[in-house]
């Protein structure tokens, strides 16, 4: 386990997050490993929060009500992602942003309960960026059930969670940088925390 990321590792990480695809899936290959970034399958409804930052078209994975308790097209989305993973995999891990992060957690939870992806090897890790948690009890009872494996672990770093680090007894987390990060700008904090988490 390295104490510091190399310049090449940091550059690779930044490159991975700088790709935005307007026409479909992004595939990045390095050696024998490939990174695939599928786009949401449904045109975004209503005004997009990213208008003026990125050009259209905008897509989403599913739609939801204001309380985030009712979902439209969620079953279709789950079926699409499971089919995609079986046909194009196997995938060792998932990285998701926003709805993608929320869905990644759901897929891992559902897979651990044998609800989906029975034809796919177990997903080993997930990186969640700005994800949320489904609130429908019928989803929560399955997706967020305690894992059966003794080796399951969760490592979390975020802008607001430096107090969590005091309780962590995990040497994979660089506590010094995270606790000192209050002195950094929001952008520096976000980049440092994501880089440290990926390195762990």
Query: In a 10 Å sphere around its CB, with 0-12 CB exposed, 13-18 middle and 19+ buried, how is residue 100 labelled?
Result: buried
pLDDT in tens, the chain (200 residues): 345 556 766 666 555 545 434 344 444 444 556 677 888 889 888 777 777 777 888 889 999 998 999 999 999 999 999 999 999 888 988 988 889 999 999 999 999 888 999 999 999 888 888 888 999 999 988 888 876 555 555 555 555 444 444 555 454 544 333 333 334 344 444 444 444 444 43
Q: In this structure, are 131 and 164 located in the same domain?
A: no
Coil vs helix vs strand at 60: strand
Q: In whole angstroms, give the CA distance from residue 129 to residue 190.
A: 10
Residue 143 backbone phi and psi in degrees, to 5: -65, -30
Give the domain CATH number at 54: 3.40.50.1820
Per-residue pLDDT, 69: 92
In a domain, 29, yes or no: no
In a domain, 45, yes or no: yes
Q: In whole angstroms, give the CA distance from residue 61 to residue 68.
A: 14
Per-residue pLDDT, 191: 43
Per-residue pLDDT, 55: 83
Per-residue pLDDT, 70: 93
Residues in the chain: 200
Residue-range definition of the domain harbouring residue 161: 1-20+157-200
Q: In this structure, are 49 and 3 located in the same domain?
A: no
Q: In this structure, are 132 and 191 located in the same domain?
A: no
- Which residues does 189 contact at the CB level (< 8 Å), separation at least 6? 159, 181
- Which residues does 97 contact at the CB level (< 8 Å), separation at least 6? 129, 130, 131
Q: Which of 116, 95, 97, 96 is nearest to 107 (CA)?
A: 116
Q: In this structure, are 166 and 134 located in the same domain?
A: no
Per-residue pLDDT, 188: 43
Q: Where are the extended beta strands (E) located within 59-162? A: 59-60, 63-64, 71-72, 93-97, 125-129
Q: How many domains does the chain have?
A: 2
Q: Which of 38, 39, 42 is nearest to 63 (CA)?
A: 42
Per-residue pLDDT, 86: 93
Q: In this structure, are 55 and 127 located in the same domain?
A: yes
């Amino acid at each position: 386990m390295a104490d510091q990321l190399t310049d090449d590792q940091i550059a690779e990480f930044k490159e991975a997050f700088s790709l935005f695809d307007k026409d479909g899936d992004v595939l990045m290959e390095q050696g024998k490993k490939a990174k695939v970034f599928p786009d949401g399958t449904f045109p975004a409804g209503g005004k997009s929060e990213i208008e003026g930052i990125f050009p259209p078209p905008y897509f989403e994975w599913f739609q939801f009500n204001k309380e985030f308790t009712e979902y439209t097209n969620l079953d279709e989305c789950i079926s699409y992602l499971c089919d995609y993973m079986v046909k194009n995999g196997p995938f060792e891990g998932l990285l998701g942003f926003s709805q993608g992060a929320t869905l990644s957690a759901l897929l891992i939870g559902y897979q651990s309960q044998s609800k989906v992806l029975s034809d796919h090897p177990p997903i080993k890790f997930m990186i969640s960026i700005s994800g949320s948690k489904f609130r429908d009890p019928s989803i929560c009872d399955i997706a967020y059930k305690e894992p059966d494996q003794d080796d399951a672990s969760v490592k979390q770093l975020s802008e607001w969670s430096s107090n969590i680090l005091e309780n962590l007894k995990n040497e994979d987390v660089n506590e010094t940088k995270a606790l000192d990060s209050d002195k950094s700008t929001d952008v520096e904090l976000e980049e440092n925390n994501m880089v440290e988490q990926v390195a762990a």
